[in-house]
Each structure stands twice: as C-alpha cells, then as structure tokens.
Structure 1
C-alpha cells in the first residue's frame, strides 16, 4: 500500500498549536506516515520537528507570492494537507488553488480583533473554512463559529498538550524561593502581555489583596507590547506584582504556586489551564470560550473583566483550605478526561482516511507509537 504523505502547515505558531504539530508529526511518523512541516524557520529550533522524524521546510508567515510559492512547492505530491490556524489555512488555500489536494484545518483559537480589523478577520475565517474539506475545531464554540462561517464539515477536535515529563520532580519550591515567596502565597499567570490577556483586571484584583497578611505575590511570566505600561502600574501603585519576562520554567513556577490565574477575554484550550489542572494547582479562570468545557467543575470560574469577582475567588482559595484541597484534587481527575496523544492522532488519521482511503498507513488504529509533545488561530 502506498505510504500516506501529509504536509502540516503552521503560521505564526502559538505555543499550543506548535506543540500540537510537533506531537502530531511524531505520532504520524511512528504510524508510517511521511510528514512534512512547513513553518517559520525559528519554530523548528524551538520544537525540533526534524527530531520528530518529519521533513522541515521553512516558510515565513507571509502571503506574498514568494512565500505562497514555497508552500505550493512543499505541498506538491501530498495526499492531504493540514493547516493549523486561520492565517495558515488562508495561505494554504491559496497555495492549493490549482492542486486537487484535500485540506484539513485545525482551528485552535479565535483571532483577537476589533472595529475594522474584525471585518477582515471575519473574511479570513470564511475563506479559511470554506477552503477546507474538514475543519477540526478545538472547542464546541469554535465548531459553531466554523459552521456559521460556511464550513462544509466542522467537527470537535480537542487538542490536549502532551504532559511534561517528570511532573513529580518539578523544582517548584526552588522557583518559589527565587521569587522570595516561601513565606507568602504565590499567584501565577503566564502568557503574552497583550490587551486581551486581562492583566489590568488581575492588577486591579491584586490591589484588593494588599489587606491580606501576608500579602500574596503575583508572578507574571511572559512578554509583549504592554510590558512597559504594566510595569508603570506596578511601580506607581505599589502593587504586589512581579513581571518576570519570558520564562522557560513556567511549569515549575506553576508547580510552586498556590493559585493559577487565567484572566483573558477568550481562550480555547489554554495551555496554562491544562498545566495547572494536571499539576493539581487550583485555577481561577474567566468563563469564556472553551474554558468551561475544558475545566468542568475543577476550577473557579469568574466573569471576564470583573476584578471584584476575580479577587474574591482567589482570596477564597487562599483562606479556605478545604476548598483549596478540593480543587487541587479535582484538577488531575478532570485532566484524565481529556483526549490522550494517541486518541488525538487516531482522530486525525481517521479524517485523513476518509479523504484518501486507499492511502491508510500500516498500523492505523493500532494505538501504538506516538510522539513527544496561547498566536495563530
């Protein structure tokens, strides 16, 4: 039987979609599929697609003729092309315009846009999903959105990030000591310092914790356009917040924390929420997008942009040991309900099988093999 050939296309490559493609590439290769990954060059350095057994073709996140031509050449001879995110899907649709190759699109998250740009984003979403034979959306809300945008076939395709190895050995206490938080509660959040992440709401909430004894420390990992403005707020208002900048040890920071916070305007299957629940760290998150579907009853959910509710939920967890322990225990149980890497790869392979049934790879459905494993939508 002829070996199945697939091309995986990434655009900007958020942490979630990039880790998913790395895991998917390794799992597909282990099942006898030939995989090519097309993505900006720096992503292979960060995610080592070559190490997963895939061929890597650097393609910049642009829609000019040169980039589209490079993508078209990489897709020549493929049995199925799989684009991850709206931007990647639009560019891939352009590249495949003259090639009868089925396109699968995984819609990982919703682009953030307002005003005139929101109209452009809506146009891109329609163009992306209508070019696809199948859209796999990571939350039920995105499935509905894809259908409203004109998708012929939209299905739920939840993506679970592979758990980091050595969860029990994470140096959480060391990270906590480095922050000077051994004798005070530690609240951790992570992600880009951009307007949609809700940092102003979190900072407003932190002011309400100044009356705690001891005062909780809020550690914010990440970088972005709002960092200077947020640092000014910390300095001027004397907030108990530390901006840590980009960190490679976010999982260890979470492991050492008392509470994790996700305050953004919209999320699908947020990596921070997944890591917190796996680690048994109580999570307070905004009830937006796919978050309620992801966390179930294993987190405290609050309205977006409600600093009073956010402050109260965190305070409750810091002062109520029983509730804190209950959420700590509920997190891993909820995480156990998420699809495994093998289940995710099996679903993707079943879609490929529908689109090119005579190219099913040997070992499809065996459950053996597998790989290692906040951006593009």
Structure 2
C-alpha cells in the first residue's frame, strides 16, 4: 500500500507595504491594512521612515517594520531591494513610494500595487514633475488603486493598464488620549457659549482655501447671534491671517495644530470643509458620523463620501460658502435633517474590514497570475 503524498500547502503570502511619508490619513490606512492582513494570515512587512513606526506602531499591528531613509537615494533603493528579496508582492502608498518601487523593482517579476491617495494642487514646475512621476508610476504598476473616482481616471490617463476604485476606510477617529471632549467646555474655552460654533480646518499658507474661509466669514459679521468660525491648523501665514481677521473684524479664531478639528466637532453646530481637493476627507466623514451638518466644496472624493447628506458648494466661491452656512444656521429643521442623513450615510461608507477584503482580493488575483 503506497503512502499518500501530503497535500501541498501554499506558504502565506508575503506582502511589503511601502510608505514614503504621506499624510496622516495614508499612514493610518497602512496601519489598518497591515493589521487586517496580518490577522488573515499574511506575512506583512512595512517599509517606511523611522518616524512612521513611532507614530503608527506597525509592529503592534502584527507587521515587521523595516526603516527606509526619508530621502530617496541609493540607501532607499538598497533597503527596498533587501526587503523585497523574498516578497510576493509590493504595495506602495502615495506617489513618492510608488516612484521608489517603480524604479527599484524594475526588471524584477514582483507584482506592484500602488494606491493613489491624493492629487497635487501646487502649480508650476512641481506640477510638471508630478505629472512625469505619475506616468512612470502608472505604467509600472500591475494595478493602481484610486481612493476616489477622479484619481482612477487620472491614473488611466497616465497609462495605467489596470486602475480600480478602492475607497480608503480610516478607523473612527478619537480625540487625544481617547477621551471625548465636553461640548460645554469647548464652547467656554472658545467664547462660543451663546453663539453658533463653526468648525473648519485649513493649512495657514497662501493657498486659496484660507482666503475663501476668511472672505466667507464677512457674511457672518451681521448675524445675531454672531457665529464663531474656529479654524484648526498651522502654517507660515498665520500671522498675516490674524492681521486680516483683526483688520476686518472677522468672527474667526485660529487654533493651533493641537486643537484638532475633531475636538471641535464635538461641540460644533456646522462643519465647514473648503478644500481645493480632498480624497476621503476625514473631516467630512467624522462630521457625518457625529451628525454635524456639513457644508463642503464639491471636489475630489467629497461628493462620493457625503452623497445627499451635506450642502455642496463650488470651490473658490466664498459667496456661495457664506450663503450656505448662513442658510443652515437659520434653518433648524434643515440642520436636523442633515444630521440624520449624515449618520445614515456614515453607516453605508466602506469599513476597515471591507477595505482589507477588497485589497486582499487584488493580492490573490495577482499572486495567482504570477504563479500560473
């Protein structure tokens, strides 16, 4: 009687998650994705600048962490080659990581997935360089995953052979320390106990976003009670912005980076997103979850996120933004309706589990093709 050969057991897929820095949302997504993949039995290696491990603790999520120099150069390529020696697949997040992978894996038969999380808004030479990088990354990737539909279209226009929509679900955000801020305390600290509180966030630079917010605030000076726009953010133009606020007597208060918009949402009557472009827009998603009426610019992935659960206005139109907020403050019924619609909409958004499942299906597809 002949012995039966043991069935062939396929070793767990080894996936390298490559992070080049990126935004807070990108890092949180890689952390969430790494935890989900490791829980499903994959071997996960995260390659990123050392500061990323200190912030997101990938090893605590079940991944192996390999530090990559923050600047692209010979050292970065050397680390990439070493960490990918036994990898079955590389998943790069963001354009810098995508370019590093595209150049470092050239000539090697390792499937490359690149997630495009954002799109550039800077003009001039930087925009031209970004365009060239996008062509390189799009054509090198086996699959490009776009966080929004416009990013999928952009990848296809840059020559991607396979570009798919893959919304990035971020874990529900919590204030620092995990404790919910008390609305009454927040209002008291801001001097908004008996007046409407508007919550926004913006980088305090020369971008049009800050100018739009401040110009829109002119429309609220005559309202009684006068609302207060609290803007969370920092930047090099903080002093100039404060001078304008003082000069025009705008009902605006600039808050530092520590006073995150998330904390403001706990007490806000209306959330305001005036971005020139946004992907999944954490501020918008959190406003929906909390039932805070939202006024937002109809850009990037914002319409996909909010659906009919927010008031959308064109970007760069302070008059429309100001009027939309004024209308909401005057209509309690409309605010209540948006609050209900927001919570319902939030319940239909992609979860961390569905995000991991979608990405894993892409991995399995590429792995099967590579071994066929």
| TM-score normalised by L of structure 2 | 0.92
Structure label with greater radius of gyration: 2
Task: Pick the aligned partner of 1:235 from 246, 265, 268.
Answer: 246
CA distance in 2, matches of 1:346, 1:248: 34
Task: Pick the aligned partner of 1:185 from 188, 191, 196.
Answer: 196
> Between Structure 1 and Structure 2, how many residues are aligned?
360
- 1:313 corresponds to: 324
Contact residue 78 and residue 101 of structure 1 kept, 8 A: yes
Higher relative contact order (CA 8 A, sep 6+): 1
Contact residue 94 and residue 115 of structure 2 kept, 8 A: yes
Residues 1-377 of structure 1: pairs in structure 2 closer than 5 A: 1-164=10-173, 169-196=180-207, 198-247=209-258, 249-357=260-368
CA distance in 2, matches of 1:136, 1:327: 31
Q: Cα distance 1:358–1:290, how it changes in 2: closer, same or farther (>3 A)?
A: closer
CA distance in 2, matches of 1:24, 1:271: 17
Contact residue 138 and residue 159 of structure 1 kept, 8 A: yes
Contact residue 4 and residue 359 of structure 1 kept, 8 A: no
- 2:4 corresponds to: none
CA RMSD of superposed structures (Å): 2.0
Contact residue 159 and residue 339 of structure 1 kept, 8 A: yes
Contact residue 202 and residue 210 of structure 2 kept, 8 A: no
Contact residue 310 and residue 338 of structure 2 kept, 8 A: yes
- 2:5 corresponds to: none
The gaps in structure 2 that reach 5 residues or longer are: 1-9
CA distance in 1, matches of 2:42, 2:321: 46
| Runs of 4+ displaced beyond 4 Å | 165-170
- Deviation, structure 1 residue 247: 2.1
CA distance in 1, matches of 2:130, 2:79: 24
